[in-house]
Amino acid sequence: MMYPMVWMCLTSFKSNAEIRTHRTKFLPVEWTAEGYRSAFERAPIVSWFTNSMFVTICVTAAVILTSTLIGFIFAKYVFRGKKILFVLLLATMMVPPQVTMIPRYLMIQKMHLFNTRWALIVPGLVSAFSIYLARQFIADIPDSLCEAAKIDGAGPLRIYWHVVLPNIKPAIGSIGIFTAMMHWNDYLNPLLMLNDMEKMTLPLGLVIFDSQRSTDLSATMAAATLIMLPMIIIFLMFQKQFIKGMTMSGIK
């Protein structure tokens, strides 16, 4: 699994001539950062990186907030139509994203968000899968904890903030990693919603860069490495919570 990523990273430090003449060499014969220099000079990599970071951070924070709040309501409150609403929520997970592509595009147009970063953020504010995951974790929190907080005078939001959130950190870690990876690597939605080169995200920008600089293999590998590194860093930072979350959800 690691071999293609390591090969890509090492290839980004080779010159174009070396890539073509020493195809079987794993390590660079002569290390060079020309590929990175070329990538930054010939494409707005910084703008693409900033756009991807902004969209990913906004959507991930929003999904964590909405998922834990809605999951808290479904897990700890009783109201009319609760089961029907939850089933309908889960049913949306069976709808392929390609089916909602055109309606989503038309809605973004009518909201005058087309060709802005908000066109990628607004449709991703809520995730049915993340709500389901949060609800399963919150349901296992003893009701006595919430009742004790209520007796002490805590309201619903205070119970959510001080009792629920500290007890579902593994779920929050899992939701954060899943959401961040999905939106960081998203190619189709930026392709539909963005036109300007400066407003593109890294995956879309890399495809356009590769089509324009198909002979500059070193720069292409450098740009691909820049896309990959942030997600590897995030996973390494939160892998403990992620693995714990997956293990505990399996047991539950």
8 located within any domain? no
36 located within any domain? no
The total number of structural domains that make up the chain: 1
Would residue 137 be called left, alpha or beta, if left means φ above 0 and alpha means ψ between -120 and 50 degrees? alpha
Both tokens of 15, joined, read 């010159």
43 located within any domain? no
13 located within any domain? no
Q: Tell me the pLDDT tens digit for each residue of 198-228.
A: 899 988 888 887 776 666 788 888 888 888 8
Q: 154 exposed, middle or buried (CB, 10 Å; 0-12, 13-18, 19+)?
A: middle
| Structural domain of 65 | 50-251
1 located within any domain? no
What is the pLDDT averaged over residues 24-29?
Answer: 79
234 located within any domain? yes
pTM: 0.84
Q: 83 exposed, middle or buried (CB, 10 Å; 0-12, 13-18, 19+)?
A: exposed
Q: Tell me the pLDDT tens digit for each residue of 195-206.
A: 888 899 988 888
29 located within any domain? no
Which single residue is written with the structure tokens 């991807």? 52
The CATH number of residue 146's host domain is 1.10.3720.10
